[in-house]
Amino acid sequence: MLTDTAAKDAVMGEIKEILLEDLDENAAAIIGHEELIALGLNSLMLARLILRLNSVFDTNPFADETVSVADIRTADQLVTVYTRSRSAGRPV
């Protein structure tokens, strides 16, 4: 079973990787409640982040359209949708 801590670590890790790749910035201070746009993620980076998280969690919480990507503002919200999707057994 995926714990909230493991899910948060995975999401934060992927965000940090994308920020390092695209902006060459260290995002070590991400807590989770910051808005993704404030961290420096643009729409293309968010799309890449979601593709990576779909692979990491082996689920796509946006596939059945009960959750919209447009409603996601923070890393904590990403953790929540991925853990719920994984618990519900939604495939990629």
Residue among 31, 89, 36 nearest 60 (CA): 89
* pLDDT values of the chain reduced to their tens digit, one per residue, 92 residues: 678 889 999 999 999 889 888 776 665 566 678 899 988 899 999 999 999 999 999 999 999 888 999 999 999 999 999 999 988 877 66
pLDDT of residue 39: 86
Architecture of domain 4-87: Orthogonal Bundle (1.10)
Q: Per-domain residue ranges for the chain?
A: 4-87
What pTM was estimated for this model as a whole? 0.86
**pLDDT score of 92:** 65
Closest CA to 15 of 70, 74, 67: 74
